[in-house]
Structure formats: structure tokens, C-alpha cells
């Protein structure tokens, strides 16, 4: 698996999808953390649930610092989820389909 060592994003087409650079692109080791997805506050709990159910270890990291979160409220926080490189495919497979889920919310 090819990742950007700076952003931890999976690289599919030569350049990092986040920073757009090739400088940090490298082959991931099995236990490297890679960026799985980014989710808002509500969706992050859903993702936590499915990853826990699947028994996949993950790291959830807020994009804003905690001081900022206290000030503007955690509903505006978005979270980056990281998993180990060798769990990535499995984690991707259990992730909820974001678009379908949004439609489901509309029906409620």
C-alpha cells in the first residue's frame, strides 16, 4: 500500500490526495497508521461503532485542537480516523456508505 508519510493518506494516483505532493509518498509498513476517513461529529460515532463491531483497532483524532473545540463546540469538530495499513481494506469494507446514510437521514 502506498501512502503519504506526512498526511497518512492512501495514495492511488502518484500524488497525495490531501497535500497533492509526491515528496512524502512511500510504501506503508503493516503497522503504519493510515487515514481511513474523515467524519463529522455525528457520523464519527457511527464509524466508531462499525469499527468496534468489526474488531478493528483505530485512532480517532479531532482536526481542531481541544481548546478550539471548547470555544466553538464539538458539533463543528470533524474527526480523522486512522487504522493500521493491514486493516485498511477490511475497515473500508465495513464503513457505512456516506451517501446512502444521508438519504436515510432525510427519510426520518
Nearest Cα neighbor of 53 from 84, 22, 91 is 91
User: Could you tell me the three cell numbers for 48?
Assistant: 466508531
Cβ atoms 46, 101 nearer than 8 A: yes
Least distance to Zn ion, CB of residue 21, Å: 6
DSSP-derived 3-state class of residue 89? helix
Residues contributing to the site for Zn ion (CB under 5 A): 4, 6-7, 16, 18-19
Least distance to Zn ion, CB of residue 24, Å: 5
Least distance to Zn ion, CB of residue 3, Å: 9
Nearer to Zn ion, 29 or 66 (CB): 29
Amino acid at each position: 500500500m502506498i501512502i503519504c508519510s506526512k498526511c497518512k493518506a492512501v495514495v492511488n494516483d502518484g500524488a497525495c490526495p490531501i497535500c497533492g505532493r509526491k515528496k512524502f509518498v512511500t510504501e506503508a509498513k503493516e503497522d503504519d497508521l493510515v487515514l481511513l476517513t474523515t467524519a463529522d461529529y455525528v457520523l464519527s460515532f457511527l464509524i466508531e461503532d462499525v469499527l468496534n463491531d468489526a474488531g478493528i483497532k483505530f485512532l480517532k483524532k479531532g482536526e481542531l485542537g481541544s481548546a478550539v473545540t471548547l470555544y466553538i463546540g464539538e458539533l463543528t469538530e470533524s474527526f480523522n480516523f486512522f487504522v493500521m495499513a493491514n486493516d485498511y481494506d477490511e475497515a473500508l469494507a465495513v464503513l457505512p456508505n456516506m451517501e446512502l446514510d444521508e438519504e436515510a437521514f432525510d427519510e426520518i
